[in-house]
Structure 1
C-alpha cells in the first residue's frame, strides 16, 4: 500500500478519535451552561454509540457498492458539520441532534477506512496497516482531552470549532490524496451480484467466529475501562494526577505496540495464535486487577492491558478483511456494530456488578475473556 493513501487514512482516523476525545473535558461544563445534568449526559453518550451500532453495517454495504472514498469523504465532512453544530448549540436538543449526527457519520469513516486497508494491503501487510490505524486513533484519544482542556480556557465552544476545522482539513486531504481502492467495473459487478445467501453462509463460518471474538474483546475492554476510574478511587484513593499517569501510560503503550510491534509479531506467530495470546492476556489482566495492591502494580497490569488490546483488535480486523472477499465493507460494518454494541452493554453490566462488589466486574470480565480463549482455541484447531 502506498504511503500517501495510508497517510490520508491515518489522518482521517486520528481526526475521528480527536473529535471524540476533544470534548471529554468540556462536556460537563457545556452541559451545565445549558441547564442539563447527568441524565442528559448519559443520553448523549448512549445515542452516539447507538447511532454507530445501527449505521455501521449500512455504511459498509454502501461502500461495497459505490466505493470506499465517497463514504470516507461523506463521514469526514459530516463529522465537521456535527462538531460545528456542537459549538453553536444553545439547547440540549441541539446537542442531542449534533451528537446523533456525529455517531452516524463517524461510523462511515471508520468502517470504510478499515475496508480500504483490507482492499489495498498485501496479505502480509494487513495487520501492520490495521495497527497503524489503531495507533492513529490512540494518538487522537491521548491528545484530544489535553487540547480540549487548553482551548476551553478561552471559550467552551472553541474545542468544537477547532475539531470542525481539523475535520475539514482532513476532508480536503482525503479528496486530493486518496485514490479509490475499488475499480468502477468491479463496483458495477457488485451491484448486480450481491448475494445475501453467500453472506449468510460466511457469517455461519469462520467470519462469524471472528465477529464473535471482536464482540468479546471489545466487551471486556469497554467493561474494564468504564469502571476502572472509580475503582482507582474507591480501592486505592488515587489522586487525579496518579490516574492521569496511568491513562497516559496506557495510551503510550498502545501507540508503540500498535505502531511498531503488532505487524512483526503477527508474522512470527501467525494471526490466530496472536489473537489467542491477546485474549488470554486480557483474562490475566482482569484477574490480576483484583490482586493489585498499589500504584506500581496497577501500572504494570494496565501496561499488559494495553499490550493485549494493541495486538488483538487490529489482528482481528486483519483476519476479517482476508475472509470478507467482495463483502469487505459490509463485514467491517458488522465488526464495527459488534464493537459499538459492547460499548452500550458492557459499561451497564460492569456498573451493576460494581455496586454488588467492586472486584466482581473484573472476575466476570476475566471469565468472559476465558470463553473467548476457548472459542479462539477451537477456531485454531478447525481445518
Structure 2
C-alpha cells in the first residue's frame, strides 16, 4: 500500500500538469493577439499539443518499464517547467509552437508514468481508489487554473506562464526527494523484459484490447459532450456566461468529490467491471437526456450525472488495465493515454461538423456510440466470467 509521501508527490505532479494546462487558457487569446496570431494559429497550437501526447505516450510508458517510473516522471516535470518558461519568453508564434509541442511531449511522460506508478505500488483493492485520487488532483488543477491565470494576467500576460514554470520546478524537487522508485520497491526489476512488437500484438488482441477500446469510447463521449455543450446551451437557451460558468464549476466540483471519495469504495463494493458498465451506460443516458433538457436546472442535473459517470469510469478503467499485464504497466498506460488523446482529436471535429447540420445531432450520435460501448463492455464482462 502506498504511504502518504508518494501519494502527495504524485498527486502534486498530476495537479501541476492540469494546472499548467488550464492556467494559460484565459490568457492564450490575448497572448496570441499580442504576437499577431489568430484563430488558425490557435488551432495549430491546440492540435500539436494533443498530437504530441498521442504519439509520445506509448514511448514514455515503454521507457518507464525499462528504466523506472521516477526518472520519467522527473523528466516530464522539469521539461514541462522549461516549456512554460519558454511560453513566457515567447516573442513569435514559432516560439509558442515549439514550446507547446515540448509541453505535449513531456506532459504525457508525467501522466503515463504516474498511472503506472500507482499500478506498481497499490494493492488490487486500493488501485481504483488511488487512481481516482490522481483524477481528483487533475480536476482540482483544471478548476483552479483559469481562475489563477486570470488573476495573474491582470499584472502581466507572461506572469501565468512563469508562475506555472515555478510551480512545476517545485514539484520536480518534491518528486526527487519524496518519491521512491516503485519498480524496485515492488521487486519486479529482474522479471521485466524489453518491449517488442509481439508484446504490442498481445496488448491489442489480448485482454487489454477491450479495455483500450472502452477507454477510447469513454473519452470520445466525454470530449464530444464537453466541447459542444457550451455553444449548445447558448444557442438553445440563451444562457449567460455566468450560467455557463456555474455549469463548469459544478462539473469540476462533482468530479473532485466523486473521484476523491466515492469511486474507490464503489469499486470495492460492486466490482470494477460492473462499475464501468454503469458509467458507460450513464454516458449514453446523459447524451440522450441533453436533447430533452428545457432550461438551466435540467442542464445542471444532466451534467451532474455526466460528472458522476466520468468520475467512476476513467480511473476504474485505468485500474483495470493496469492489472492485465504486470510486465508492461507503463506501456499499457501509454496506450491508454494514446487512446484517450486520439479521441480528443476526433470527437471535437465530428461533433463540430454534426452541430452545423443540427444542434441535437452531436448528442444523438454520441449517445449511440456510448450504447455501442455498453454492448462492448457487456461482452467483455461475459467473456471474463466464462474464462
Which TM-score applies when normalising by structure 1? 0.98
Q: Distance in 2 between matches of 1:166 and 1:132?
A: 20
Shift of 1:201: 2.1
String of CA shifts for 1:142-175, please: whole Å, max 9, x gaps.
0000000000000000000000000000000000
Is 2:191–2:327's contact at 8 Å kept on the other side of the alignment?
no
Question: Matches of residues 1-383 of structure 1 in structure 2 within 5 Å?
Answer: 1-183=2-184, 186-187=188-189, 189-191=191-193, 194=195, 196-382=197-383, 383=386
Q: Distance in 2 between matches of 1:120 and 1:203?
A: 25
Q: Distance in 1 between matches of 2:266 and 2:190?
A: 38
Q: Which aligned segments of 4 or more residues in structure 1 are displaced greater than 6 angstroms? A: none
Q: Distance in 1 between matches of 2:326 and 2:204?
A: 13
Q: Distance in 2 between matches of 1:179 and 1:305?
A: 36
Is 2:137–2:256's contact at 8 Å kept on the other side of the alignment?
yes
Match of 1:323, SS? coil
Q: Distance in 2 between matches of 1:346 and 1:187?
A: 39
Q: Distance in 2 between matches of 1:186 and 1:116?
A: 12
Q: Distance in 1 between matches of 2:217 and 2:296?
A: 28
Is 2:62–2:195's contact at 8 Å kept on the other side of the alignment?
no
RMSD of aligned Cα (Å): 1.1
Shift of 1:186: 4.2
Which TM-score applies when normalising by structure 2? 0.97
Is 1:14–1:136's contact at 8 Å kept on the other side of the alignment?
yes
Please list every run of 5 or more consecutive structure 1 residues that lacks an aligned counterpart in the other structure. none
Q: Distance in 1 between matches of 2:199 and 2:20?
A: 37
Shift of 1:206: 1.8
String of CA shifts for 1:182-239, please: whole Å, max 9, x gaps.
1298446535x54542442232122000000000000010011111111111001100
Q: Distance in 1 between matches of 2:326 and 2:79?
A: 28
Q: Distance in 1 between matches of 2:124 and 2:240?
A: 46
String of CA shifts for 1:97-148, please: whole Å, max 9, x gaps.
0000000000000000000000000000000000000000000000000000
Q: Distance in 2 between matches of 1:255 and 1:371?
A: 28
Q: Distance in 1 between matches of 2:261 and 2:100?
A: 34
Q: Distance in 2 between matches of 1:295 and 1:235?
A: 11
